[in-house]
Chain A
């Protein structure tokens, strides 16, 4: 049961409280309170981060900065108004429900480090840097997340924000397969960014959710594809390679066999959709 509730206003205050109380940070509460209720988190202290004097969502150089407490709905609005990283819209709009998006935050999603986290997948695709205070550490999300629910964070530290690359002229495909069309946790998801020149790959980024203990992205494989001609053969090759790399589990949502099939098929599907082999509705 919650007995202590704090509202720090400064970075140092928040850091000290976290260190001293071992309390849980609370912004939207869309995940924290579910876990408290389910008994998977047991704490008597929450530290409300919403009163922290922090930066706003902003563009700095070629980076999109998303601070602690910024909600999915605010991010969507910002993307639309500033016409930046519009591809994110496809991912963010599938997260939870309107109520969840009005409360939940990208920083919260990354701090949970779930392999099914939709924004975690987005942050891998956009080479996110995680900004940690009060130590002002900055590290790539792939290094920050160490496993399911495991993150590189000291007891006095918290995630202050994330920086995503701003990408232009990329083709983008995202699909989340779940048990229904709304308010789902993915069975498997794929995000793919591709920049082409003369029908050859100039840059490609591929990330999968829910098919490994972490977001699956292989930068060496991506590098090996640069310069290759874009055709179905190439994507079949990519599909097979990722199928080998994936290590899904069987859970209440689906079997590992189905997830393995999806890893393959989603890559092909991305190709079909990006290169208009599919009639658009």
Chain B
């Protein structure tokens, strides 16, 4: 392969490095009204009265909108497949405010100064209710967070607003209770994960204006331009045809932008005033009023026989979706569907639980999407079980984990919000990942611990993980290729490059098919007027789903070139081929260059625009797999953990661009390490997020992540474009369990609540 597997830099790298104006805030119309939001100081209240008169009279204020001024149509902000598995429980503005930071009023003015002043002058009287802040007490709480009758799910998701339940789910294969009786060893433990923040460097931003035809144009930092178009149409009750959504370059999303956030507010202002408007969230707003990861609790029961055969997995969970039910059911189910198939030889497996509303920052999509929460619980418990069996945890996994060519009943039963699809795992090099990782970390030498001094111990720990490649039978991506007169191609994709490098790897896929240099493929993503549909960048879908669409479109283009080339050469199609430069006679001397053909096609002979398109929806979702190994040093006098090495061995099929695949894994690992060791989330007793800035919310710095070693094993996924699977999320899943296991192996302290702070370790050491 010439173009696929080339380690070329991202197509946008130089422009970004040079600071070109490419982000939403750079591109917003210069005369945009500044939009800011008055946010609720209460965790749960009803607006009794809102007086905007004095604020409206401030010089420069263009409009102040309250719930009385905007349509009240229940929607979900979550950008997912349609019909949506998230309940329709959100309103552009509402008379209820359901968390500290919830929107009360939209203020637009000519500059920040007058808008800031107006925000202070709006007088709101609230009827304050007792908030629900403890997710373990949410179900059946006397405060009902969504008492309104309009809120509803689009289909059965186990929704029960009167009990503060956004979604619920239950499945069982075999009989957990019966099989547990046959087990020699059983472990049962409870685990908690926290509401991690995404901390994308570009804050959420959106701008809007009315074009010359009276259509609403929205420029936004989003992962899901087509979903934004649909949700805005629904929320404002305007036709989809009257909306255009443009995605410029994006400074990171990680799931936090898989939703509408600022878009409805600028749209409301533009629709009201006819003027351009923009909003750029402050860092505090990003923390307090966008999304976090769903905090979850899992009770895990595992049962095995003496010989080390895992027989039973029981996972019972509770998830906290905050004030709105975005991604509630789907993140919860992924905690099972992207962990349980790893141990596919069990006799009984159960997964059940509820997702509850609380008066806290809404939870939404975040890289890992439930899998990391489930993985922490399951992979911690697997180590506990192996220890009880007296087995090396690597050996225990090797004996029980899924292998290439095998399947799991989970694939069929658990999808995302509905049934999944039956599939055989055609590529699975988990065993190779495990073997290679053990070598790289020097497991045999280092497991379980080394004493460094009287006060310092080193330990190693591991976890295995799987993710998916898009959502089978739901996620669709499409691509269009267009031939230019110099023989270059425009590749138009709805797929959304967030900084991931997807534009680059999609170009590499097209270039490989057409046998042209990647540099001859000009990529444009994404604009709902100009690019074909794509669900967007989420669920590890772009490489696999959008990549397959690009590959098909390129194959069609190749056929078109051969067809038109044959015509030009006066030969039958079967007699010619295309090598990237020339369309040539297979057994002869006739040939025409692509450039010449492209030029004549546009200007002189048999004139036409060569254009090809293709769509792809996966019939299956081949999982990438990995094994993660942590080596930590624990200081027993302070509880501090030093992460010395993290080894990640990944099977994501063929890496389209090995460098970009590597940084995807590295980035995922660092976020996983952050969730494991640093990123603590604290609320005040009345429900205000205290860790709402980068001073109090600590993401890891370069000094905190030690030595990261990423390796890809050789693997080929037959259904993927050139053998590729997706790689965006898999990197994040293993650090919580691998590091927790390593700490346990080092000092015998088992932390079951993330993050694992020095404080938790020391306090547990003190108890010993």
Do B766 and A179 touch (CB < 8 A)?
no
Is A255's beta carbon under 8 Å from chain B?
yes
Chain B residues with CB below 8 A from A255, complex form: 759
**A residues 186-225 touching B (CB-CB < 8 Å):** 187
Pick from B637, B680, B762, B763: contact of A179, CB under 8 Å: B680
Pick from B635, B702, B762: contact of A182, CB under 8 Å: B702
* Measured CA separation A220–B678 after assembly (Å): 38
Do A252 and B690 touch (CB < 8 A)?
yes
**A residues 246-281 touching B (CB-CB < 8 Å):** 252-255, 257-258, 261-262, 265-266, 268-269, 272, 277-279
CB distance from A123 to the nearest CB of B (A): 23
CB distance from B591 to the nearest CB of A (A): 60
Do A277 and B454 touch (CB < 8 A)?
yes
Is B412's beta carbon under 8 Å from chain A?
no
SS class of chain B's interface: helix, strand, loop or mixed? loop
Is A154's beta carbon under 8 Å from chain B?
no
CB distance from A188 to the nearest CB of B (A): 9
CB distance from A104 to the nearest CB of B (A): 15
Is B285's beta carbon under 8 Å from chain A?
no
Do B638 and A265 touch (CB < 8 A)?
yes
Provided the pairs A179-B678, A182-B701, A269-B637 are in contact, do residues A261 and B766 lie with their beta carbons within 8 angstroms? yes
Chain A residues with CB below 8 A from B698, complex form: 179-180, 184
Do B453 and A279 touch (CB < 8 A)?
yes
Do A258 and B759 touch (CB < 8 A)?
yes
Is A183's beta carbon under 8 Å from chain B?
yes
Encoded as 1 (CB less than 8 Å from any B CB) or 0, chain A from 40 to 58 comes to: 0000000000000000000
Provided the pairs A252-B682, A265-B637, A269-B637 are in contact, do residues A181 and B454 lie with their beta carbons within 8 angstroms? no
Do B691 and A252 touch (CB < 8 A)?
yes
Pick the most buried of B677, B759, B766: most chain A CB atoms within 10 A of its CB: B759
* Measured CA separation A277–B637 after assembly (Å): 13
Is B552's beta carbon under 8 Å from chain A?
no
Is B485's beta carbon under 8 Å from chain A?
no
Do B702 and A179 touch (CB < 8 A)?
no
Do B455 and A269 touch (CB < 8 A)?
yes
Nearest chain B residue, comparing its CB with the CB of A268? B637
* Measured CA separation A183–B703 after assembly (Å): 10
Nearest chain B residue, comparing its CB with the CB of A34? B695
* Measured CA separation A262–B638 after assembly (Å): 6
Is B704's beta carbon under 8 Å from chain A?
yes
Encoded as 1 (CB less than 8 Å from any A CB) or 0, chain B from 677 to 709 comes to: 110101000000011000110101111100000
Do A258 and B637 touch (CB < 8 A)?
no
**B residues 626-649 touching A (CB-CB < 8 Å):** 635, 637-640
Interface contacts beyond A177-B638, A261-B763: sample of 5 additional A-B pairs, CB < 8 Å, sorted by A: A177-B640, A177-B758, A257-B763, A277-B454, A278-B455
User: What are 29 residue pairs bridging A and B, where the CB atoms are less than 8 Å apart in the complex?
Assistant: A34-B695, A177-B758, A179-B678, A179-B680, A179-B698, A179-B757, A180-B678, A180-B701, A180-B704, A181-B701, A181-B703, A182-B702, A184-B698, A185-B695, A187-B759, A253-B696, A254-B757, A255-B759, A258-B758, A261-B763, A261-B766, A262-B638, A265-B638, A265-B762, A266-B637, A266-B638, A269-B635, A272-B453, A277-B453
Chain B residues with CB under 8 Å of chain A are 452-456, 635, 637-640, 677-678, 680, 682, 690-691, 695-696, 698, 700-704, 757-759, 762-763, 766
